[in-house]
Structure 1
Amino acid sequence: MRAWIWTLVVLIAAVTLALVLREHSGNVVVLVPPYRVSFGLNFAVVAAIVIFIVLYVTLRFISWISGSPERFRLWRGRRAQNRDRALLESGWLNVLEGRYDQAEKDLSKLLAKTRSHSSRVLAGLASARAAHNQGEYQRRDEQFKQVQDEAAKDERLKVAAATAMAEMWLDQGNPQEAVALLQPLQDVNARFLHTTRLLLRAYRQLGQHDQVYELTRLLVRRSAIDRDEALAAIEEAAAARIKAGGIEQFKTVWSDLRADEKTLPIVALAAAQVKAEADEYDDAARILEAAINVRFEPSLIMAYANCTPEHYARRLSKAEEWLRKYPNDADLLAALGQLCLTGQLWGQGEHYLKRSMKIRNDMRIHALLGNLYDGLGRSQDAMRHWQLASAVVVGALPSVRTSRSLPAADTQADPDIVDTAFVPDAVIADPADEQPMAASAADFYSDDPASPTPAVDVITPSSTTPAASSSNDDDEYFDSALPPGVDTSIISDRPDRRVD
């Protein structure tokens, strides 16, 4: 269609020119002594146009002939550039796909033929990455040295090479070398966000928490890090800074944290520990309470239960308020039991610990019950719960088969026997014979798996009225345990176990 349009335009121009020239009948005379040339005006115009076209074409042809070497050089450059691009693309694709042998072939061919510094740097980095993924770290380092020499003349290539190599060193677990490459880049220009993230990763591996804290703040201000990742880094770094600074620098470090960061579990635990070591137990309690109100974490509850007898009352009252909100939380019930043990509230402590054990039977609760019964003088019950606690840590201990030539040993008091399931049938004690000594154990239930779980009402010989029977209602629980310091051997009908 375009050819037809141009043909029509040429025809119109030719007709127009013929009509215009038809009206001009003048002559053109050229005097060149001794010659005189005369021709018509129309012929002169046409001849001038033809001569112009011929001269223009001739000059263009001469120019094209003279520029052939340069044009040929450019053509060869474009061909080499296309070849380098194809080899580089193929090499990187093979590296990303895990075809390292084929990648090495393409990249070696490229390094041998290319004259471009950028292509050599990129090919060298790809080859170093392939060697790194194959675990050939020595060959990777040698390749990186060559890349550094090639990239020394170009600042952008130098930054790219340092960043890529630092990332490989971090993957290898060598953060010192990564910091040596990344820190100069960070000092020159802090806007390299990827460099900042890699530097943060290196400092976290090195455990340099001050730098981790500062870099995380920088990335948060520029919205270059995920919020959860930033909180995890700040939590770890802030807790370490609080422990390292101690009570002398506590105010400075603590005031630098935001309100939501102060309630992070690890930060709150570290701050409470520092305050407790400085005998500032009220401040430690307030820090833990603020964190528990935000996140009801078992580690915070356990730390809250650790206090001196002089400060247990306030913490016990606060924990009972939480119990109204979380009535079936095993960790909270265990913490209440521990606080009662600290305040020597034996009966109430036993009550909370047994409620916790009904929900979750773990080592800590058995250990606390063992301490409680040891404080009450019930050594058999204490030893039994300590055995159960050790069984949780060690696991199921194998039973030892004794020699037939020797008499059977009494293993009832053996600490290696952690449960009746591991005791021979001949020495299993009757659960009905192990009734609680203290009246505070009214809801006592046997630890024997063969016995029923519900509590058993116990009527002592001295009690003959129905009012002496115990109740299983957790809301109506009375502590009738003897106060600490009273010699139970004087008033107890059980034999005195003391050795004269």
Structure 2
Amino acid sequence: MTLFWRLLALLALAILGAWAWQLLAADPGYVLVTLRGYSVETTVVVALAAIALAWLALRIVLWLLRLPFRYWKKRSRRVARERLAGGLVALHEGRWARAEKLLGRAASDPALRLPALLGAARAATARGDAAQADALRQRAADCGDAATVALLDAERLAREGNHAAVAALFDTLPGASLPPRAVELRMRALAATGRASDAVALLPALRQSQLLEGATLHAFEAQISAAALTQAATPELLDERWNALPKSLRNDAAVVGAYAERAAAFGLEESAAGAIEHALKKQWSSSLPGIYSRLPRGRRASPLKNAERWLEQQPNDPALLVALGRLCREEQLWGKAEDTLHRAIAQGAGADAWEELGHTYAAQHDDTRARQAFANALRAARGDAPQSLPGRGLRDLIRDEAVAEERTPMGMPRLPGPE
């Protein structure tokens, strides 16, 4: 309100007060009160003033009478808040008994009862008292939302690996009432119990909740989507789920790998290979060449040329070298397979490379080196140092460990280290 309008309002009030005073001065009114022979005579103005003073005195008396109770209530609430704060700190520090004690006392305040009981139930669960934890959860359920309380049971069941019980627990509750953490636990349980397609339907709700963001959200979406593809029962259902994915997930290595393996199981080798080839054009991933090399040949052309082209771009990738060695073995290019696999081992490949090398030697009926290669695969799997194969000199070892020069897309040499 501007200064002009304020002054105008004050002037109007002054005029109204003067007019009212004129009316009362001309006729102040008459009030007569009689009670048991006593009478009181006064004007209306005095009567109204007396009533206002009596009402004010009554309010003061009531305030004074309620003051001790208000002080006690305020003090109790302050003590309850202090206990809640102390209990949460003790819960964070792992002082389970102290946390349960403080939080149980803090539950005496109705406003703090639900969070205090939930924290006390967590403390009881952490110290292994299942009966006490169930009792505290039941008390919390009596005063809180069922979905919030069910979250405690779901977290306990998830830690125990009982995903079926987690899924059944949330199936009985309305999906719209689930808190974000409950939505995440339900999705993980659904994916683990063969119902990943139902979990995919909950992805929009998870995004909206902002429980997970950025790379963490993308990784979780990829995990759920890959599970849905793996659990597809028919080729038609697999294609339907694959085509429904956004482009960002259809280029994700985990999702592409799951689709390729499931498509290959249905005899769709060309679709599986095409998905991997398209994904590797967009972004390189060391996990896909191995899947690509294990796909059945079917009617498609030899994948060896694609692997060799990828090797020009990623000459020192151990997983790609193992995949290339496997493809060379299938083409019966024994010498090239041996050289590639030895180079893969020198670049850091482990048991898979040794096992593939053993298959290469076995295919050539070189039983001695095949047995030693398989033995080295077991040693590598256990973390032990492998034994050198006979017939390989220092020049071979140097050639294996030589790192090929990598170049950027502009043709410039790529220096080692972070880009």
Distance 1:95 1:217, change over 3 A: same
Displacement of 1:285 after TM fit?
0.7
Matched, 1:269 2:257: yes
Distance 1:396 1:101, change over 3 A: closer
Matched, 1:78 2:65: no
Partner secondary structure for residue 235 of structure 2: coil
Retained in 1: the 8 A contact 2:167–2:189? yes
1:310-389 map, 5 Å: 313-360=301-348, 362-389=350-377
Question: d(CA) in 1 for partners of 2:370 and 2:166?
Answer: 55
Displacement of 1:86 after TM fit?
0.8
Matched, 1:92 2:76: no
Retained in 2: the 8 A contact 1:269–1:303? yes
Aligned match of 1:298 in 286, 290, 302?
286
Distance 1:372 1:195, change over 3 A: closer
Give the structure 2 partner of residue 483 of structure 1.
none
Amino acid at match of 1:82: K
1:225-264 map, 5 Å: 225-245=212-232, 246-264=234-252
Displacement of 1:279 after TM fit?
2.2
Retained in 1: the 8 A contact 2:88–2:119? no
Task: Write the deviation string for residues 170-205 of structure 1: whole angstroms up to 9, x where unpaired.
Answer: 442356776677667644557x55654564466567
Give the structure 1 partner of residue 201 of structure 2.
214
Structure 1: segments with no counterpart, 5+ residues: 1-47, 152-157, 398-417, 422-430, 435-444, 447-451, 457-471, 475-500
Matched, 1:173 2:157: yes
Distance 1:329 1:83, change over 3 A: same
Retained in 2: the 8 A contact 1:243–1:274? yes
Displacement of 1:286 after TM fit?
0.6
Matched, 1:144 2:144: no
Decide which structure has the larger Cα Rg and report it: 1
Displacement of 1:258 after TM fit?
0.9
Question: d(CA) in 1 for partners of 2:215 and 2:83?
Answer: 36
1:451-490 map, 5 Å: 452-454=394-396
Amino acid at match of 1:94: G
Displacement of 1:357 after TM fit?
3.5
Give the structure 1 partner of residue 121 of structure 2.
128
Retained in 2: the 8 A contact 1:366–1:388? yes
Q: More helix per residue: 1 or 2?
A: 2
Question: d(CA) in 2 for partners of 1:289 and 1:266?
Answer: 14
Question: d(CA) in 2 for partners of 1:225 and 1:240?
Answer: 19
Distance 1:90 1:326, change over 3 A: same
1:30-49 map, 5 Å: none
Amino acid at match of 1:333: L
Question: d(CA) in 2 for partners of 1:76 and 1:201?
Answer: 53
Question: d(CA) in 1 for partners of 2:273 and 2:263?
Answer: 9
Retained in 1: the 8 A contact 2:100–2:121? no
- Of 227-236 and 319-328, deviating more is 227-236
Distance 1:333 1:81, change over 3 A: same
Displacement of 1:148 after TM fit?
3.2
Task: Write the deviation string for residues 216-270 of structure 1: whole angstroms up to 9, x where unpaired.
Answer: 2223256553132322222222222222223131121111101110122222122
Q: RMSD of the alignment, in Å? A: 3.9
* Percentage of identical aligned residues: 23
Partner secondary structure for residue 236 of structure 2: coil
Question: d(CA) in 1 for partners of 2:326 and 2:301?
Answer: 12
Retained in 2: the 8 A contact 1:265–1:291? yes
Question: d(CA) in 2 for partners of 1:373 and 1:178?
Answer: 49
Retained in 2: the 8 A contact 1:84–1:119? no
Distance 1:109 1:264, change over 3 A: closer
Retained in 2: the 8 A contact 1:90–1:103? no
Retained in 1: the 8 A contact 2:122–2:133? yes
Structure 2: segments with no counterpart, 5+ residues: 1-41, 405-419
Provide the TM-score with structure 2 as the length reference. Answer: 0.69
Partner secondary structure for residue 249 of structure 1: helix
Retained in 2: the 8 A contact 1:275–1:281? yes
Question: d(CA) in 2 for partners of 1:194 and 1:309?
Answer: 44
Aligned match of 1:280 in 245, 268, 277?
268
Task: Write the deviation string for residues 146-176 of structure 1: whole angstroms up to 9, x where unpaired.
Answer: 3333x2xxxxxx33x741x334334423567
Question: d(CA) in 1 for partners of 2:229 and 2:131?
Answer: 41
Question: d(CA) in 2 for partners of 1:173 and 1:77?
Answer: 45
Partner secondary structure for residue 173 of structure 1: helix
- Of 118-127 and 208-217, deviating more is 118-127
Distance 1:229 1:330, change over 3 A: closer
Displacement of 1:331 after TM fit?
2.1
Distance 1:255 1:76, change over 3 A: farther
Task: Write the deviation string for residues 293-351 of structure 1: whole angstroms up to 9, x where unpaired.
Answer: 33433321111111445568531111111111122223222212211111222233233
Retained in 1: the 8 A contact 2:154–2:169? no
Question: d(CA) in 2 for partners of 1:224 and 1:391?
Answer: 43
